[in-house]
Amino acid sequence: MRWTLDGRIAISNGRDSGSGRLHWQQDAEFYVIDLRAPISGESWRLSGDGAHAVLEGLRA
């Protein structure tokens, strides 16, 4: 089954918070989830399948 979700997200840990855009594409066990912060322009991508996942865009 293949589907796509587009929307906005808000995240808070009780002290810090933020919002952004979400794009999730799923095709059976394969997925790509893109997150983008509107002010900083930073973006992150989580992709993978039922056995592996890769997270891109984090800074050390």
Q: Is residue 43 one of the residues assigned to a domain?
A: yes
Is 36 domain-assigned? Answer: yes
Residue 33 lies in a domain: yes
Q: What is the pLDDT of residue 32?
A: 98
Domain that holds residue 43: 2-13+20-52
Asked whether residue 32 is domain-assigned, the answer is yes
Task: Tally the domains of the chain.
Answer: 1
Mean pLDDT by 10 residues, the chain (60 residues): 96 91 97 92 94 87
Nearest to 34 by CA among 60, 4, 13, 2: 4
Instruction: Measure Cα distances from 42 to 10, 18, 36, 55 in Å.
Output: 15, 12, 6, 14
Any domain includes 37 = yes
Which pLDDT score, from 0 to 100, does residue 58 have? 75
Q: What is the pLDDT of residue 24?
A: 98
- Residue 57 inside a domain? The answer is no
